[in-house]
């Protein structure tokens, strides 16, 4: 009984939100918060990160990342370019990077050891900017609010029929179910979409889209092959990801070559 009720409750909650189309044509539920609120959340999160993490003192590293961010952002629609884009390289051995609403990009020094050249690093940065451009943060917030609201409905129904203990148990178990069956699968869809959007952006900016393949091969080598099961992961299976990146790269080589012919020849590092 609980699963159909949860699905219905989530559907009713999401029905009150807006729908939009992602850059790849996928229908998204968004609008739980306004874009201004989302940007403010991004600015606050970035300020918090800067307060807690040490920025790299290496001016060349900062300029290297800033150059790539600038070239990638130049390929976004004008309204996205108008954001106050900012990038910071943080001292952290974890090979990671992120982008936040409001135009904030963070890169860990650890990823600089995995991305061997500017094209591979552009694949990382374009992927993260792709999340912002595709409204993934808005979508994720809307999904989470919908899931939490649905669990409240299910818990109330269970409590009215079976008592307070059942309501608490439903909320606890339901939270795990929502995480595993509702939130995480959506995140994997977003990761794949960010790959698509990011690879397209980097090719248009004059970065070689084939470098995304080498990047993920390096990522697998750096991780030692250790990863959680795909169904509990927020990222697609690495080997499947590489195969898809290879296929897209072949179709994007003409885009990359056209960009290079038009004078888009990044010289970031």
Catalytic residues: 128
**150/179 Cα distance (integer angstroms):** 13
CA 107 to chain centre: 14
* Cβ atoms 125, 199 nearer than 8 A: no
> ∠195-216-97 over CA atoms, to 5°?
65
Quote the tokens at residue 74.
């130049």
Extract the tokens encoding 195. 């790959």
Angle (CA) 162 167 168, round 5°: 135
Per DSSP, the residues of 152-196 read HHHHHHHHHHH-HHHHHHHHHHHHHHHIIIIIHHHHHHHHHHHHH
Asked whether 41 and 33 are in contact (CB, 8 A), the reply is yes
Residue pair 269/67 in contact (Cβ under 8 Å)? The answer is yes
Structure tokens at 134: 């595709």
Largest CA distance in the chain: 70
């Amino acid at each position: 009984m609980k699963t159909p009720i949860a699905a219905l409750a989530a559907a009713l909650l999401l029905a009150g939100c807006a729908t939009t189309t992602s850059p790849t044509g996928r229908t998204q539920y968004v609008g739980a918060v306004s874009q201004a609120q989302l940007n403010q959340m991004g600015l606050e999160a970035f300020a918090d990160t800067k307060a807690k993490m040490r920025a790299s003192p290496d001016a060349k590293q900062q300029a290297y990342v800033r150059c790539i961010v600038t070239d990638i952002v130049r390929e976004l629609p004008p309204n996205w370019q108008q954001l106050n884009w900012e990038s910071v390289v943080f001292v952290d051995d974890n090979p990671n990077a992120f982008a936040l609403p409001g135009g904030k990009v963070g890169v860990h020094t650890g990823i600089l050891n995995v991305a061997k050249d500017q094209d591979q690093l552009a694949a990382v940065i374009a992927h993260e900017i792709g999340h912002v451009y595709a409204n993934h943060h808005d979508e994720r917030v809307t999904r989470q609010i919908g899931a939490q609201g649905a669990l409240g409905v299910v818990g109330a129904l269970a409590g009215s029929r079976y008592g307070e203990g059942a309501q608490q148990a439903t909320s606890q178990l339901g939270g795990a179910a929502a995480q595993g069956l509702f939130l995480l699968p959506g995140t994997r869809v977003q990761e794949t979409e960010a790959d698509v959007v990011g690879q397209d952006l980097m090719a248009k900016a004059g970065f070689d889209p084939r470098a995304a393949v080498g990047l993920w091969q390096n990522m697998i080598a750096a991780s030692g092959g250790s990863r959680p099961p795909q169904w509990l992961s927020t990222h697609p299976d690495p080997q499947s990801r590489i195969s898809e990146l290879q296929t897209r790269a072949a179709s994007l080589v003409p885009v990359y070559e056209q960009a290079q012919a038009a004078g888009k020849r990044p010289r970031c590092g």
